Structure 1
Amino acid sequence: MTDAVVTGPVYLDALGPRGPYRTRVPSAVTDVSGTEVARLSLVPPVFVGRALAALRKAEAVPAADIDALLEAAGEEFATGTVGGLGVREYEHLVSRTSGTPLTVVRAATRGTARFVSRARSSAEQGRPRGAVSDRRDPSLAAGHAVWARRGHVFTVNASGNHPGVHRLWLEALALGYRVAVRPSRREPFTPHRLVGALHRAGVREDQLVLLPTDHRTADVLVRGADRAVVYGGDEVVARYARDPRVLPQGPGRTKILITADTDWREHLDTIVGSVAEEGGTACVNATAVFVEGDPAPLAEAVAARLSRLPGLPPQDARAVLPVCPLDRARALGSYLRSVAVGTRAWLGGEGVVDDLGDGSAVLRPAVHQVGSSSAAQLRTELPFPCVWVAPWSRTDGIAPLRDTLVLSALTRDGALLDALLAEPTIANVYVGDHPTYWMAPGVPHDSYLSDFLMRSKALVGAL
């Protein structure tokens, strides 16, 4: 399969319950250099309201059909021509607009296809052992539990930092929800392709819709759902924290802990990969490393490895670092300098902006050493490989490790591992030589999505 470069803007229509919808004045989607590459149709609040009403009236995708539909959709997503774009054209556009290295996008295509085909079985992993998924199960006559939806309509206010964010909502569709997806205006190509592939595989247009909107209308989409997932920063998490119908997906603040009984030199590849793989843009990339003992040797070694990464345009097959518009890169660089005051810069102290000369810039890695495990900088998460290295001691305890999506623990201390697993604000614990970005179908990301979408109901004497 050869690379394909798209010339001229691509039209990305909204995909409503009655088919594609194109506005008269679509919104421009630009690449990292500022060049228009697509025109996205943004729908108004009234369109959103009608679409949600249509989803509410539609029945769920039949359970008997879902596996075959998902298998076909996964293959279509990975190899087909969807929305007029072949897979290589799609990947090239995603790389140019999001600034994600092309190799990362290509790996995400394969990974997403795998998650699509396994979405139902992955969702089923979250079903309680005491519950069945069908009222016709013979065990119900003696009294049992049925796994039931908490609602009918699920909406997604998606981010555009990585194509993989769109794997999560597939489970909602597999569990019988009707789904509405609001794509990021930064990278709308992945959800457009995924929704289109599912439609082509047999999911009806009134069961799954794609609704690009402005930010004001996005709230209409969220408020009109029975259940919703919303991606964003701390302000988004705070806005929806008190709404039980909304699952906020905020910063990951992923961490690595290395205790004195472990030689970090044996795990340097894993530590560096946890910081920089996926372009360092994912919520599962490590942003802080805690070292029991002197953190300086590790910080120096990580900085030496990261300093060798090349700065290239994102669509270059050799690119490994993220790219963004030059003005945004400069703003991020300035912010990093202000946050890092008082730390020791092992890498990035002279700046992280690598101007490519076309209106875009590579965001180069940064490694800073902080003075304590409670340093304020440890909560700072940036959209490129940026890691804070801190000392940690047993007297510091678990407190510095809280509020973490993934914690990789390089330790042999069983009691410490028990404490990490018992800490409610640590979502996942990876023990030993496992990178923080490891993911697999059926393994929870931030708990099982079904914990949020489903409940168990007692049912006795079913027919």
Structure 2
Amino acid sequence: MPATGTTGPVHLDALGPRGPYRTRVPEAVTDVSGTEVARLSLVPPVYVDRALSTLRKAGPVPADGLDALLGAAGEEFATGTVGGLGVREYEHLVSRVSGTPAQVVRAATRGTARFVALARRSAEQGRPRGTVSGHRDPVLGAGHAVWARRGEVFAVHASGNHPGVHRLWLEALALGYRVAVRPSRREPFTPHRLVAALHRAGVRQDRLVLLPTDHRTAGALVRGADRTVVYGGDEVVARYARDPRVLAQGPGRSKILVTADTDWREHLDTIVDSVADEGGTACVNATAVYVEGDPAPLAEALAERLSRLPGLPPQDARAVLPVRPLDRARALAAHLASVAAGTRTWLGADGVVDDLGDGSAVLRPAVHQVGDAGAAQLRVELPFPNVWVAPWSRADGTAALRDTLVLSALTRDRALVDALLAEPTIANVYVGDTPTHWMAPGVPHDGYLSDFLMRGKALAGPV
């Protein structure tokens, strides 16, 4: 159904350097039941090329007053009527098209507003201590270094799994990049609202654009930008692995490790929360739990807790699980059944699809126990609370825990924590009762974005 107060599908125009742009034949955006709720204008390659050219000619957003501007944009995003949608209408539509529980969307609205307001200060957290922000900095003297951009135009190929994915690129805008956002066609409402809110707060249209495209045209965006962040699966990571201008954000494969010196029963709430919070759809949700010792008791307790979660439509205030179109839900369950062959089932694929009777289905949790810490299933990440529980031993070491966005370590072993921090492929290590989905402005997600966007450049002599 359309958002409250609307009489038909919402029009989501491209937001170009000269204002909104509406195509004659927009693409339908449907909710989880297949009902059309919006029409998204997709721009052609020539429009992308011209927009990027305009961005390149524009200067950075002025540093003076930037914090006030960002604060106003965050407030507008969280409370205003933007693009004809009030915040509750916006949240309703996001929930219906993405299948994300309404309470998760509401929390993401508040969280995104906070990240907007703090974007400049968050970006500054990644600046090396030996550099200054610009050559006019009064601290600058002979032999100092300046923090400089590696380019001028930053492009974002966004995903639609969670509204919070749009928090990261705000730092690029604060660092002086002109930004082009390609929204996910599955959930275009959040980037459209955020870009429009920033425009209304004072960011010029030739410094920030929203460019919805089809997959073919998306290549023009990558080619035309100086730096690009792309979200996707393993195939996306592999495609751009050799391109230094592209930062590929793939599966998180976040994990929990419970060592023998820790009673997992005292931390079960944190483990359940790590798996199922955010609807289990985020890259920071735990998809594997490693246990030093017998993993069966923990797997059983985890399955029992997850089995209690209610199956409700996403817009219901009590909903906590994601919803997908029925055919997509059945395909995911069939895939899980295939990859889980040979494991011990606690909550299986046969219980994943909870048909809501309107063409959509809740994706219920799944829990499987694997035989060893090297099992292939441990690399499988699915867009709902699906977790693999594995035995782990000191002999397995950190090698079994590699390729991890977040690892929450329930341990008292400081030497082990040191080893986890030293492992290059583990991006973040949380110790104790910190769920894997914890995030805060100024704290790196997968390293600081500025590591990719900026560099220290020596400056000597009079300026």
TM range (shorter): over 0.9
- How far apart, in 2, do the equivalents of 1:188 and 1:76 lie? 18
Counterpart for residue 300 of structure 2: 300
Structure 2 residue identity aligned to 1:61: V
- How far apart, in 1, do the equivalents of 2:393 and 2:370 lie? 14
Q: Describe the shift of the 1:349–1:160 C-alpha distance in structure 2 as closer, same or farther (beyond 3 A).
A: closer
Counterpart for residue 356 of structure 1: 356
Q: Describe the shift of the 1:349–1:361 C-alpha distance in structure 2 as closer, same or farther (beyond 3 A).
A: closer
Q: Which runs of 4+ in 1 moved over 4 A?
A: none
Q: How many residues align?
A: 461
- How far apart, in 1, do the equivalents of 2:177 and 2:193 lie? 20
- How far apart, in 1, do the equivalents of 2:331 and 2:292 lie? 34
Counterpart for residue 114 of structure 1: 114
Structure 2 residue identity aligned to 1:189: F
Counterpart for residue 392 of structure 1: 392
Does the 8 A contact of 1:303 with 1:346 survive in 2?
A: yes
Counterpart for residue 378 of structure 1: 378
- Which has the higher mean CA deviation after the structures are superposed, 136-145 or 372-381? 136-145
SS, match of residue 181 in structure 1: strand
Counterpart for residue 141 of structure 2: 141
Does the 8 A contact of 1:162 with 1:282 survive in 2?
A: yes
- How far apart, in 1, do the equivalents of 2:52 and 2:65 lie? 23
Counterpart for residue 338 of structure 1: 338
User: Percent identity of the aligned residues?
Assistant: 85
Does the 8 A contact of 2:159 with 2:184 survive in 1?
A: yes
- How far apart, in 2, do the equivalents of 1:271 and 1:441 lie? 23
Counterpart for residue 183 of structure 1: 183
SS, match of residue 64 in structure 2: helix
Deviation of 1:6 after TM superposition, in Å, equals: 4.2
- Measured against aligned partners, the alpha-carbon deviations of 1:33-78 in whole angstroms (never above 9, x if no partner) come to 0000000000000000000000000011001131111010000000
SS, match of residue 238 in structure 1: helix
Please list, as runs of the form range in 1=range in 2, the aligned pairs for 1:307-322 lying within 5 A after superposition.
Answer: 307-322=307-322
Does the 8 A contact of 2:336 with 2:349 survive in 1?
A: no
Structure 2 residue identity aligned to 1:440: A
Q: Which runs of 5+ in 2 are unaligned?
A: none
SS, match of residue 140 in structure 2: helix
Deviation of 1:450 after TM superposition, in Å, equals: 0.2
Counterpart for residue 43 of structure 1: 43
SS, match of residue 394 in structure 1: coil
SS, match of residue 350 in structure 1: helix
Counterpart for residue 440 of structure 1: 440
Counterpart for residue 206 of structure 2: 206
- How far apart, in 2, do the equivalents of 1:329 and 1:383 lie? 10
Counterpart for residue 54 of structure 2: 54
- How far apart, in 2, do the equivalents of 1:185 and 1:386 lie? 25
Please list, as runs of the form range in 1=range in 2, the aligned pairs for 1:118-197 lying within 5 A after superposition.
Answer: 118-197=118-197
Deviation of 1:4 after TM superposition, in Å, equals: 3.7
- How far apart, in 1, do the equivalents of 2:31 and 2:350 lie? 27
Deviation of 1:397 after TM superposition, in Å, equals: 1.1
- How far apart, in 1, do the equivalents of 2:40 and 2:378 lie? 37
- How far apart, in 2, do the equivalents of 1:418 and 1:402 lie? 14
Counterpart for residue 273 of structure 1: 273
Does the 8 A contact of 1:10 with 1:38 survive in 2?
A: yes
The alignment status of 1:19 with 2:19, answered yes or no, reads yes
* Structure 2 length-normalised TM: 0.99
Root-mean-square deviation (Å): 0.9
Does the 8 A contact of 1:136 with 1:462 survive in 2?
A: no
Q: Describe the shift of the 1:47–1:352 C-alpha distance in structure 2 as closer, same or farther (beyond 3 A).
A: same
- Measured against aligned partners, the alpha-carbon deviations of 1:103-157 in whole angstroms (never above 9, x if no partner) come to 0000000000000000000000000000000212233223201000000000000
SS, match of residue 191 in structure 1: helix
Counterpart for residue 92 of structure 2: 92
- How far apart, in 2, do the equivalents of 1:72 and 1:300 lie? 48
Structure 2 residue identity aligned to 1:335: H
Does the 8 A contact of 2:48 with 2:211 survive in 1?
A: yes
- How far apart, in 1, do the equivalents of 2:195 and 2:260 lie? 48
- How far apart, in 1, do the equivalents of 2:350 and 2:360 lie? 19
- Measured against aligned partners, the alpha-carbon deviations of 1:205-226 in whole angstroms (never above 9, x if no partner) come to 0000000000010111011100
Q: Describe the shift of the 1:6–1:304 C-alpha distance in structure 2 as closer, same or farther (beyond 3 A).
A: farther
Counterpart for residue 34 of structure 2: 34
Does the 8 A contact of 1:348 with 1:364 survive in 2?
A: no
Does the 8 A contact of 1:140 with 1:462 survive in 2?
A: no
- How far apart, in 2, do the equivalents of 1:349 and 1:69 lie? 48
SS, match of residue 65 in structure 2: helix
Q: Describe the shift of the 1:312–1:6 C-alpha distance in structure 2 as closer, same or farther (beyond 3 A).
A: farther
Deviation of 1:462 after TM superposition, in Å, equals: 4.0
- How far apart, in 2, do the equivalents of 1:169 and 1:217 lie? 21
Does the 8 A contact of 1:161 with 1:282 survive in 2?
A: yes
* Structure 1 length-normalised TM: 0.99
